[in-house]
Chains A and B, each alone.
Chain A
Amino acid sequence: MKARDNPFSTDCVLHIRYRPLGITWPELLERLKALAYRAAIVGPDGSGKTTLLEDLEPHFRALGFTPKWLRLTEEDPTFRREFLRRFLAGLNPRDVVLFDGADLMGGWSWARLKRQTAHAGGLIITSHRAGLLPTLIECRTTPQLLGEIVAQLAGDDAPPQEFIFQLYDKHMGNIRETLRHMYDLWAHR
């Protein structure tokens, strides 16, 4: 199959947005407000942390905040000092910092950043572990959730649920990796 026809291509997968499990969007936003917009989205790889953080952005805009992004990855786990200095100097109380990958920061750096963003309107982070900020939500996945996503992407061409559940187990609930696996299977059709 041509890459452009693959239903599991990156651009198709990116259209799948976060689906809260066991909590509604209004409840999630209420909880965020109760935490004074300083909270952590916690969960393992491929559980939807970054997607949820992205999906919060329009909600903050609707509240009159300006979302400002910080992002660390395992490939790029540090900020350039000058970049961070300028970023922090430009923050004001109407800004909300959305920080993806906060747990990649060292302990001292994190403590300093937390202090230096105290005057911003909010600080929402993603992290693999709890404890950096009060937990907003622990992201998790289920085989049924994966099944729904695969059905949405592949439509009538979706494989049997039993097969999807096997892949879910193989990738230990990491939906991103499972969908990449599905891409490869479709690519060789």
Chain B
Amino acid sequence: MSVLQITLHDNRTEFLPGETVEGRVSWQLAQPAKSVEVRLFWFTRGKGTTDVEVAATARFDRPAPSDQQPFRFTLPKAPYSFSGKLISLVWAIELVVEPSGETERVEIVLSPTGREILLYPDLASPA
């Protein structure tokens, strides 16, 4: 099994629209890979069908078995990170190895306040 890691600059995970998210990805691959890709994307989680949209990618073809690379993405203006009881929208940075499909993911928050928007006040308390 490969070892994959995503480190965000200053360990920061909360961002405003249009800000830059940057960091470093590192990997130790268990077997040769065609590519390693860093993706900035959002997905929904909840009761219904899951939606996913990739906002930006950085691809490293024919990666060395062990390496690390910086990445830098400018966040879009929307959609905002939010949670209700039926659906949450979650932003994340993902490191994906092809063709093995191994992944590592770090979730981040994108909103005008820098905090996840909660649709119900009672969601603010710990689950």
The answer to whether A and B interact is yes
Name A residues whose Cβ lies closer than 8 Å to a Cβ of B: 1-6, 9-11, 180, 183-184, 187-189
B: number of interface residues (CB 8 Å): 16
Inter-subunit contact B49/A4 (CB<8 Å): no
Question: In residues 83-127 of chain B, which contact A (Cβ within 8 Å)?
Answer: 83-88, 90, 118, 123, 127
Query: Is B74's beta carbon under 8 Å from chain A?
Result: no
| A172 to B86 CA separation, bound complex (whole angstroms) | 24
Name B residues whose Cβ lies closer than 8 Å to a Cβ of A: 45-50, 83-88, 90, 118, 123, 127
| A6 to B84 CA separation, bound complex (whole angstroms) | 11
Task: Decide: A9 near B123, CB < 8 A? Known: A2-B88, A3-B83, A3-B84.
Answer: no
- Please give me the residue from chain B that is nearest to A1 by CB atom: B127
Inter-subunit contact B85/A4 (CB<8 Å): no
Inter-subunit contact B85/A1 (CB<8 Å): yes
| A11 to B44 CA separation, bound complex (whole angstroms) | 9
Question: Shortest beta-carbon distance, B60 to chain A, in Å?
Answer: 27
Inter-subunit contact A4/B90 (CB<8 Å): yes
Residues on B with beta carbons closer than 8 Å to the beta carbon of A180: 47
Inter-subunit contact A11/B50 (CB<8 Å): yes
